[in-house]
Amino acid sequence: MKDNILQSLNLEKIAKFRELGLLGFIILLAIIIQLLNPAFLTFGNLRDLLTNTAILSILALGMMLVLITRGIDLSIGATLALSGMITALTVSAYGNLHPLLAILLGIMVGIICGVILGLLVSKIGILPIIASLGLMNVFRGLTFWVGGGEWVSAYQMPPSFKSIATSSFLGINTLVLIAVVIFLLFYYFVNNTITGRQIYAVGSNPDSARVSGINQTKILILVYTIMGGLSGLAGVLWVSKFASAQGDTATGYELTVIAACILGGVSIAGGVGKVTGVLLGAILLGVLSNGLPLINVSPFWQMGIEGMIILIAVLFNTNVKMLVEKNNLLRREI
């Protein structure tokens, strides 16, 4: 009986299984929090939760691509801050700038940051963790420099800009809507396009990808550019939402984003990751950071709990993966 279950396992099914498990865990957590504090499942709080998770999930999707190619991007928090600061300064100087143009400006800043990182990683061959660590400091420094060390506060921003985060379309908050659109785009991009398949190939086996004629330089530049563009977009949304642009905006946020990816089943070793998993990972972190304060868990405990959950998820992943690999070897006819 046990053998039969093992026989039917493969990584694809495991991925589905762990996603269902993650979903179940999120629901269980929501029920517990709701029982302890009925304020959790209210319209206002859920809206807060979703708008907070929106930015995290946008970044996590980009990070997923980077991680799949065996890379990592530590500079996204700084890119986000830089893009947010430049956009905030621009709209405070030109009050009648259309919000769409502000968003475009932010994305452009992010793309430039991403292309620089992509070139360093793919053309020059600097390890992603080193290159992005260096750029993280460069971008953070630039943010302070362009802001002159000052904040851009709510009163300096025109209402049209602040309304990007607060407005809604067809009854759905704009932030959430943007996140949903990006999720759908990603879903089709990674599953149904040549480039999507090639990204996975480069991460799964770089040698094989090369022998198969895949241009790795192009793929690497692409994933870091996408990551940069999404960070730029997130920067505009962040500043609009909190109505404040600061030099230290989103410091350390890159680690939260990476955590969401890992919870969602993305492998740091590359080649593995699904958009649905990453979305669930982001939602789980969103529920924790929204729900734990509601049931009076101290912020210190909250960090500890988040960390424990990440470790448990990884432990689960590693064990199941070993089981599957062993099973594959057993099935192999020698």
Partner 1 sequence: MTEHILELNGITKEFPGVKALDNVQFELKTGEIHALMGENGAGKSTFIKVITGVHQPNEGRIKLEGEEITFQGPKDANAKGIAAIYQHVTNYPDLSITENIYMGHEKINKKTRMINWKEMHQDAKKLLESLGSKLDPKTEMSVLSVAQQQIVEIAKALSSNAKIIIMDEPTAALTHRESEELYKITERLRDEGVSIIFISHRFEDMYRLADRVTVFRDSQYIGTWNVVDITNDDLIVAMVGREIKQLFPDKTNIIKEEVLRLEKLGQIGRFKDISINLHRGEILGITGLVGAGRSELCQAMFGIEPYDEGAMYFEGTRISIDNPTDAIKLGIGYLPEDRQAQSLILQWEIKQNITLASLAQYSKNGWLNEKKEREIAKELAEKVDVKTNSVFSLASSLSGGNQQKVSVAKLLTTDLKVIIFDEPTKGVDIGAKSAIYQIIVDLASSGYGIIMVSSEMPEVLGLSDRIAVMCEGRLTKVMGNEEATQEKILEAAMTKEMAVH
The residues that touch partner 1, with contacts defined as CB under 8 A, are 10-11, 192-195, 197-198, 201, 204-205, 207-215, 271-272, 325, 328-329, 331-334
Output the smallest distance, CB 214 to partner 1, in A: 8
Q: Of the two residues 10 and 168, which places its CB atom closer to partner 1 in the complex? A: 10
Output the smallest distance, CB 63 to partner 1, in A: 21
> Any bridge partners for residue 172, and if so which?
169
Question: Would you state the structure tokens that stand for residue 18, as one six-digit string?
Answer: 């762990």
Output the smallest distance, CB 203 to partner 1, in A: 10
In angstroms, what CA-CA distances link 38 with 35, 294, 305, 325?
6, 9, 21, 45
Q: Of the two residues 3 and 155, which places its CB atom closer to partner 1 in the complex? A: 3
Output the smallest distance, CB 271 to partner 1, in A: 7
Tell me how far apart the terminal alpha carbons of the chain are, to the nearest angstrom: 24
Type of residue at 203: G
Long-range contacts at 147-154 (CB < 8 A, ≥ 24 apart): 147/85, 147/89, 147/245, 147/246, 147/247, 149/247, 151/244, 151/245, 151/246, 151/247, 152/85, 152/88, 152/89, 152/92, 152/239, 152/244, 152/245, 152/246, 153/243, 153/244, 154/243, 154/244
Q: Of the two residues 170 and 211, which places its CB atom closer to partner 1 in the complex? A: 211
Q: Of the two residues 205 and 244, which places its CB atom closer to partner 1 in the complex? A: 205
Output the smallest distance, CB 313 to partner 1, in A: 20
Q: How many CA atoms lie within 13 A of 326 on its CB side?
A: 8
Q: Of the two residues 153 and 193, which places its CB atom closer to partner 1 in the complex? A: 193
Output the smallest distance, CB 204 to partner 1, in A: 4
Helical spans, DSSP H, in 69-154: 76-93, 99-122, 128-146
Output the smallest distance, CB 106 to partner 1, in A: 27
Q: Of the two residues 225 and 231, which places its CB atom closer to partner 1 in the complex? A: 225
Write the Ramachandran bin of 37: left for phi over 0, alpha for psi from -120 to 50, otherwise beta: beta
Q: Of the two residues 144 and 189, which places its CB atom closer to partner 1 in the complex? A: 189
